[in-house]
Amino acid sequence: MKEHQEKRGCVVTGVAGFVGSHLAERLLSLGHEVVGVDNFFSGHPENMASFRDHPAFNFYEKSIAEQNLLEDLTEKHPSLNCCFHLAAIVSVPYSMDHEDETMELNFTATVRLLQSAEKLQFKRFVFAGSAAEYGNDQRLPLQEAYADENTAHASPYGRAKFLGSQKVASSPLGVALRFFNIYGPRQDPRSPYSGVISRFLDMALAEERLTVFGDGLQARDFVYISDVVDAYLLAGGLQDSSFEVCHGIYNIGTGRSTTILELAEIIKALTGNGNAPRFLPERPGDIRFSLASVEAFSKAAGWRAGTSLRDGLRATLQWYREHRPEE
Ligand code: UD1
C-alpha cells in the first residue's frame, strides 16, 4: 500500500486554533483518526464546532508543556503515528514580554514532543515554523537557508521558532513548514494582533474605513488556508504524491507580493466599501517586505499555492458575512 493510502492516527496540537482546526477537519474528511490537543490559551472551542462530534475525533484540553503528553495519548490511541505540532504562543508582542515562557512553550516543549515521537516510532513530525524566523532580512524572495545562527530575530517568538525548525529538521521524522501570512475563514479579526486581511474584511463589512499603518507600500506574501492544509498533508505523507518523503525546512507562501494598499483596494472592490483608507502611523517594528521563495517545497513535494488572492478573499469574505460576531 502506498504511504498516503494508509489511514493514520494523527495528533494535532493547537487544534482549536485557526490553522489547527482546518487541518483537523481535512484529516477527518480523509478518514484519519485525529487526537486534538489545545489549552484554549489562544484557540477557541467554536473553531472545532464542525468536527467536535466526529466519531474519529478525540479532544484533550491539555498544555503542550505537560510531560509525557505524546506517550499518554499514544497509550490511549495506539493508532497514532504522526504529529502535527501547531500549538504555540502565537502573539509576537506577548512573546516580547514573556521571553522565558515563549522559549519553554515554542522551543523546549517542541523538542520534548519530537523526542517522544522518535521514541514512539512515529512516522512523521511536522512543525509550524514562521516567516519571523528570517528576522528583517530583505534579500527577497527569502530562501530557507537565509535564516541561520547570524539572523537577528526581532522577537523571542522568531528566535524560538527558528530554533524549533532547526531541531525538527535535524530529525529523520521532521519537517518544518515556514508559514508566511496565512488567511482564511475562522481567523479571529478582533484582537489587536489579528492579521491584516481579517481586520480589513471585518472593517469593510462594518462599513468603516480600512486602517493602513504607514504608507501602505509595505508588502506581504498572503497564502490561503486550504493551500496551507495541502502543504501539511504532503509534509505528513498523507497525500498522493510521486515525490520522495520530504524532510527539512520549507517555506509555505505563494511567491507573490501584495502591498497593503493593493490589498485594501481589492477588499474595497469585493465588499463595495467606498471609503478611502485611513492612514495611521507606521507600526513600530513593522517589516517592510516579506516574500517567500517557494521553489524548495515545489521541488520536494510538488506543492504550489493554487488559490489566487481574489478567490481566497472571496471565500473568506463569504465566511465572515455568515459568521461575523455582532459588535
Ligand atoms: C506578522 C505577525 C506579527 C509579527 C510578524 C513577524 C500576525 C497577525 N502578525 O506580522 O505579529 O511581528 O509577522 O514576521 O501574524 N496593517 C495595516 N493595517 C491593519 C493591520 C495591519 O496596515 O489594520 C499592516 C501592518 O502594518 C503590516 C501588514 O499590514 O505592515 C501586515 O500585518 P499583519 O497581518 O499583522 O502581518 P505581519 O506584519 O506580517
**Ligand 1 atom 28 nearest Cα:** 196
Pairing of strands 219-220, 258-259: antiparallel
Alpha carbons 38 and 139: distance in angstroms, whole number: 36
**Ligand 1 atom 19 nearest Cα:** 196
Longest Cα–Cα distance in the chain: 58
Q: Which domains does the chain have, with CATH numbers?
A: 9-183+223-255+294-301 (3.40.50.720)
Alpha carbons 49 and 44: distance in angstroms, whole number: 10
Q: Would you call 239 helix, strand, or coil by DSSP?
A: coil
Torsion of CA 25, 27, 32, 36, to 10 degrees: -60
Residue 166: the pLDDT is 98
User: 141 preceded by cis ω (within 30°)?
Assistant: yes
Residue 190: the pLDDT is 83
- Candidates 196, 222, 225, 251: which one to mutate for ligand 1, based on the most atoms within 8 Å of Cβ? 196
**Ligand 1 atom 11 nearest Cα:** 92
**Ligand 1 atom 36 nearest Cα:** 195
Q: Which of 253, 255, 7, 224 is nearest to 141 (CA)?
A: 255
Residues with a CB atom less than 6 Å from ligand 1: 92, 131-132, 181, 193-196, 199, 211-213, 218, 220, 260, 283, 286-287, 290
Q: Which of 168, 165, 112, 158 is nearest to 136 (CA)?
A: 158
**Are 198 and 189 within 8 A, CB to CB?**
yes
**How far does the centroid of ligand 1 lie from the alpha carbon of residue 278, in Å?**
16
Pairing of strands 278-280, 174-179: unpaired
Low-confidence residues of the chain, pLDDT below 50? 1
**Are 33 and 10 within 8 A, CB to CB?**
yes
pTM of the full predicted structure? 0.96
Per-residue pLDDT of 70-95, as tens digits, reads 999 999 999 999 999 999 999 998 99
Q: Would you call 37 helix, strand, or coil by DSSP?
A: strand
Alpha carbons 88 and 107: distance in angstroms, whole number: 9
What contacts 61, CB < 8 A, 6 or more positions away?
Answer: 38, 39, 40
Residue 2: the pLDDT is 54
Q: How far is CA 187 from CA 148, 184, 218, 305, in A?
A: 30, 6, 22, 19
What is the phi/psi pair of residue 224, to 5°? -80, 145
Pairing of strands 124-130, 80-85: parallel
**How far does the centroid of ligand 1 lie from the alpha carbon of residue 263, in Å?**
13
Amino acid at 322: E
How long a stretch of residues is the chain? 327
Residue 126 burial (10 A CB sphere; 0-12, 13-18, 19+): buried
